[in-house]
Amino acid sequence: MHHRRFVALTLAALGGLAATGMSSPSDACSPTRPVPGDQLAEVAGTVPLDGVVVARVRCEVDCPEGTPVLVVKDKETGDVVAGAQELAAVELATEQESVLVFRPAAPLAEGHTYSVTLEGQDPSLGVQGETRASADLDLGVGAHPMTASVSVEESWYGGPSCCDIRSTCGSEQVCVAREVERYVVFGLHTSEAARDGAGQFVQTVTFLSPDGAELGERTIWSWDGNVEHTYESSAPEYCYQVTYKSLIDGATIEQERTCVPHGDAGATGVFPTDMEASGHSIGRCSSPPEGFEDVWCAAREDCEAESEQVREGCSVTTGGGASSGWALSAVGLALALAGRVGRRRTPGRAGRADRCSDRRPR
């Protein structure tokens, strides 16, 4: 795998999507500042009467020492629920997140809604979660298979070349390579039928080869759990096994191995980049990316040759702000770059023509 971690751009992103995304409003340019301290990130929305309240807590900056404490309150009566708290499986913990399990001292009341907060947290800064107690919650999670998907995604193959553009967010980059690598992403997510009950379980997903060999393992908790595994090359089918461990009593439920065919997801391997789709993004650069001078010049000439309305949008290539109108119209432009590289230049563009001709192969 070459530089897959370096770029997550697909051809769709380099086409109209990249241009559209770079025309976002200026207020979207300011990075969101994390709230200091522990923050409630997720609470399982439904809990059985004799179940546990489970919450994910996140902290990004100014994290206090020790484990945060959940406060569960009956919204019908206003009473704080007595109980004990513990951390869920250590496999679920990350540097920024932990999963807390609150065990009520007595069964919860049918149909009551309970607020979930963090002890000592300023209400104006924290997020309040809610969970509802239900006697009808289906805990037969093992009977509901996870929903699987097989897709082929792309990343640049080899070292991409990048160039700078200007947008409403300041200087940004567009990257391109001559080839892309297509690989399989096998995804799993909790079945709709098991979403509520899944909040009472830790799920361990083991990815398997068709011959039964273990390829990787992922442990998750969420009422809407999702996991993925990447395969560099395609296989006739992709297999997995799920083990559920109850947070109520520690019992486990193990599903049988399940295999999903590759189907018509597409071919994997290394393929040439579609320069026609990516040319307009390259043309927005203030100077060409190394090795792509011909594409850059052709794209900028096409921009000049368009109508007055399009030319106004094309002005971003010379340093103006990004135009969402241009970005949207660029999605439909067929540049036919290879055929236009050597075309005759019209009067009035001699300066740019000379600049481009120096970089073109003869």
90 pLDDT above the threshold of 90: no
Task: Output the six-digit token pair for 201.
Answer: 């379980």
In angstroms, the CA 163 to CA 176 distance is 9
In angstroms, the CA 235 to CA 336 distance is 35
**Which distant-in-sequence residues (6+ apart) come within 8 Å of 17 by Cβ?**
none
DSSP 8-state code for residue 78: -
Nearest to 278 by CA among 159, 153, 162: 162
Per DSSP, what are the bridge partners of residue 253? Answer: 244
Task: Output the six-digit token pair for 339.
Answer: 């055929």
* Assigned CATH for 142-271: 2.60.40
What does 149-206 look like in DSSP terms, one character per residue?
A: EEEEEEEEESPPEEEEEEETTEEEEEEE-SEEEEEEEEEEE--GGGTTGGGGEEEEEE
Nearest to 240 by CA among 216, 227, 259, 213: 259
Phi-psi region of 268 (alpha: psi -120 to 50; beta: other; left: phi over 0): beta
Backbone angles phi, psi at 92, to 5 degrees: -85, -15
Q: Do 38-134 and 142-271 fold alike per CATH?
A: yes
- Collapsing DSSP states into helix, strand and coil, what is residue 303? helix
CA 222 to chain centre: 17
306 pLDDT above the threshold of 90: no
pLDDT of residue 126: 64
178 pLDDT above the threshold of 80: yes
Count of Cβ atoms closer than 10 Å to residue 263 Cβ: 8
- Collapsing DSSP states into helix, strand and coil, what is residue 229? strand
Pick the CATH number of 38-134 from 2.60.40.2320, 3.40.50.1400, 3.50.50.60, 3.40.50.150: 2.60.40.2320
Nearest to 284 by CA among 273, 275, 295: 295
User: Higher-confidence residue: 264 or 125?
Assistant: 264
pLDDT category, 228, cuts 50, 70, 90?
very high
Token pair 């039964």 is at which residue? 212
Which whole number is the average pLDDT over 284-312? 75
Token pair 């520690």 is at which residue? 250
Which whole number is the average pLDDT over 308-336? 36
pLDDT of residue 193: 64
Nearest to 98 by CA among 129, 71, 63: 63
In angstroms, the CA 57 to CA 104 distance is 19
The angle formed by the CA atoms of residues 96, 97 and 98, to the nearest 5 degrees, is 140
C-alpha gyration radius of the chain:
27
Q: Where are the domains of the chain?
A: 38-134, 142-271, 274-357
| H-helix segments, 180-336 | 275-282, 293-305, 308-314, 324-330
Per DSSP, what are the bridge partners of residue 189? Answer: 147, 226
308 pLDDT above the threshold of 60: no
pLDDT of residue 338: 33
pLDDT category, 230, cuts 50, 70, 90?
very high
- Collapsing DSSP states into helix, strand and coil, what is residue 339? helix
This prediction has a pTM of: 0.68
pLDDT category, 166, cuts 50, 70, 90?
confident
| Amino acid, res. 362 | R
pLDDT of residue 15: 37
